[in-house]
C-alpha cells in the first residue's frame, strides 16, 4: 500500500470514528467534498497544507494520519 493510499484510509477511518460524513469533514477542513473523496480513495496526492487542515479538523496529529500500522 502506498503512502497516499494509507493516508486516505486513515482519514476515512478517523472521519468515520467521529461519525462524520465526507461533507462534514470537507466543511470543517475547508476543502471540497469531491476532493476529499479522491483523498480517501488514494487518488489524490495532497499538500502538507491539506494534511494539516484535515488533521486539525479531525483532532489528530498529522503523522498519525500517515501511520502504516
Residue 69's pLDDT is what?
Answer: 75
What CATH architecture does domain 3-58 belong to? Orthogonal Bundle (1.10)
Q: Is residue 7 within 8 Å of residue 65, measured between CB atoms?
A: yes
Letter string b/e over residues 10-20, b meaning 16 or more CB atoms within 10 A of that residue's CB? bbbebbeeeeb
Collect the ranges in the chain with pLDDT lower than 50: none
- Interval 22-41: pLDDT, tens: 999 999 999 999 999 999 99
Q: Is residue 12 within 8 Å of residue 40, measured between CB atoms?
A: yes
Q: Is residue 36 within 8 Å of residue 25, measured between CB atoms?
A: yes
Amino acid at each position: 500500500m502506498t503512502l497516499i493510499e494509507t493516508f486516505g484510509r486513515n482519514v476515512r477511518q478517523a472521519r468515520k470514528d467521529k461519525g462524520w460524513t465526507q461533507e462534514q469533514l470537507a466543511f470543517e477542513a475547508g476543502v471540497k467534498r469531491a476532493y476529499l473523496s479522491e483523498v480517501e480513495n488514494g487518488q489524490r496526492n495532497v499538500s502538507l497544507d491539506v494534511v494539516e487542515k484535515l488533521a486539525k479538523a479531525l483532532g489528530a496529529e498529522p503523522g498519525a494520519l500517515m501511520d502504516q500500522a
